[in-house]
Amino acid sequence: MPILKETGDAELDKELYQTVLAPLLARYRAQQEANDEQFAEQVNLQEAISADALFECGCCFGSTIFERMASCTESLHIICFECISRAINEALYGQSWGQTVDPDRGLLRCLVPTADDTCPGCIPSEITRRAVIESPKGLQSWLRLESRLREESLTKAQIPLVRCPVCSYAESTDLYLPPGASHYTINFQHPFQTLLYIVCALAALPFLLAYLVLSYLPILRNPLPSPSLLFHNSLTRLTKCTLLPTRFRCRAPNCLAHTCMTCSQPWLDPHTCSTPRSSTGEATSLRTAIETARTAALKRTCPRCNTSFIKDSGCNKLTCVCGYSMCYVCRQGLGERDGGEGYRHFCQHFRVQGGRCGECESCDLYGGDDGEAAKVELAGKKAEKEWRERWSLMKNGGMGLTAGGKGKQEEAQVSWSLQGVVDWWVLRILDCKERPLHRELDEAEDGLMEE
């Protein structure tokens, strides 16, 4: 064990101890504890063997000591730590996530095979954590497992989120404001335009009354949204555009990064958003829109966990990491919940020369989609056309509008739908402002976070 030779200066001795000797002693103690634990397990194993006190794992049928065993919560099946660790690694890095992990409870399912294979038991989280961490690179696997469970929970909740571009931290984008925190006024920045919009709205009152009657008629197959709902959604959007800050503060203890919600770059005061807006930026935005549309037409998305993927080789029966099975060609589900067709979904006729089957219209087990290239090309052309129409409207002062708040200039894209028209009208007629008291409270909270 290393020791520190005194120098005669108390302050220097303290500094040397904290910077040099203390880390060495900490590593020495950790290594000594690991060696002692390993020696104790060996002694315990030898004593258990001599006393014939080993327990048999119900999964791998191996024998080990009681301290390295776990039991499920229902049938008390005994499972060893090695099987638990291997099952977690296969679920994380293989394709057994849906069969191994119960995402609703966030626990590992019982691994013991039974006659009906329906053991509802699970392994407690604390025991699973101990088994995984004791394995090589176990801490990394455990953190990945927790992150995966969080992602699935957020995906199933279908909550609109804003994510930190540095780590996996996410926050809800639903803006909560106490009653009286914001108020709406008429937009007097352009009084003549505002007056014109109000006159147009008054002229459209007969159509509004007709729509109000149609929205409450029970004869329609798909009822129309009520005017109050459309107006409420527009006010919510106006409030978000005005009061949501551009600066995103990550609250993860191991991150705490400050980034821009527009360009996803690190925040530097004073911050200049790096989103391109020049002529080069226009070309970049067009290329990005086309590439995004072509990729969306090419990739497949699992309807259960929203994981996107593209097949490189192999057959057309794909199994997602969550356990969902689907056909790569027609995207139909092939699992038990979707009819349980499995491989019967594909063509069963023998073909000597290969090629398309002339006896049925079923999908081929091997081979790609013949019309996939045409679909990708069509998606790219459609995205280019929509981008050019939207950009032309924005340049000519059409439906593209600019909403700003707290110095933020955000281009809000409004679609040519009923909700989009209401949004367009509300964002030009009304102005949302935050009351000073709540603004001061938010600034005080931000100051405390920075400290």
**68-72 — which CB contacts under 8 Å span 24+ positions?**
70/123, 70/124, 70/127, 70/128, 70/131, 72/110, 72/112, 72/119, 72/121, 72/122, 72/123
User: Which range scores top for mean pLDDT: 1-15, 43-57, 410-424?
Assistant: 43-57
Residue 402 class from Cβ within 10 Å (0-12 exposed, 13-18 middle, 19+ buried)? Answer: exposed
How confident is the model at residue 279, as a pLDDT?
A: 38
pLDDT tens digits for range 113-158: 887 767 888 999 999 999 999 888 888 899 889 888 888 887 777 6
Work out the pLDDT band at 396, boundaries 50, 70, 90: very low
Res. 410: pLDDT tops 60: no
How confident is the model at residue 159, as a pLDDT?
A: 73
Cβ–Cβ under 8 Å, residues 432 and 242: yes
Averaged pLDDT for residues 68-78: 90
How confident is the model at residue 13, as a pLDDT?
A: 83
How confident is the model at residue 404, as a pLDDT?
A: 36
pLDDT tens digits for range 300-336: 888 777 778 888 778 888 888 777 888 888 888 887 7
What is the three-class DSSP state of 305? coil
